[in-house]
Amino acid sequence: MIGKSPRQTQRDLFQPLLIDFIDVKHELVLLANKIDWAYFDKSFAGFYSNTGQPALPIRFMVGCLLLKRIYNLGDETLAHAWVMNPYMQYFC
């Protein structure tokens, strides 16, 4: 199944959004806002089943692949960097 990130329709005082404390002029924020993520959702939707456990969101998968290519990172290095870098988290 295609995984979907839950849409936040209401702000939560105790869980601020990532965009609230990052620099919106950072290169990854600007790039993330220019990418048509819906295109990837449509393109990869055919490879997912309608049954079973939901997968991770397609944006997360594509975003991680792009970050690996942009910064020339390996899988484990990207995983460690992603946890500590809010700009990578916003990108994905």
Instruction: Quote the CA–CA distance of 46 and 38 in Å, as a whole number.
Output: 14
Q: Which residues of 25-56 are buried (b: 16+ CB within 10 A; e: fewer)?
A: eeebbeebeeeeeeebbeeeeeeeeeeeeebe
Answer yes or no: is 71 within a domain.
yes
Tell me the pLDDT tens digit for each residue of 51-79. Answer: 888 888 999 999 999 999 999 999 999 99
Answer yes or no: is 36 within a domain.
yes
Q: Which residues is 57 bridged to in the sheet? A: 3
74 backbone dihedrals φ, ψ, rounded to 5°: -90, 175
Q: What is the pLDDT of residue 89?
A: 94
Amino acid (one-letter) located at 61: M
Query: For residue 78, what are the domain limits?
Result: 19-44+55-91
Single pTM value for the model? 0.80
Domain count, the chain: 1
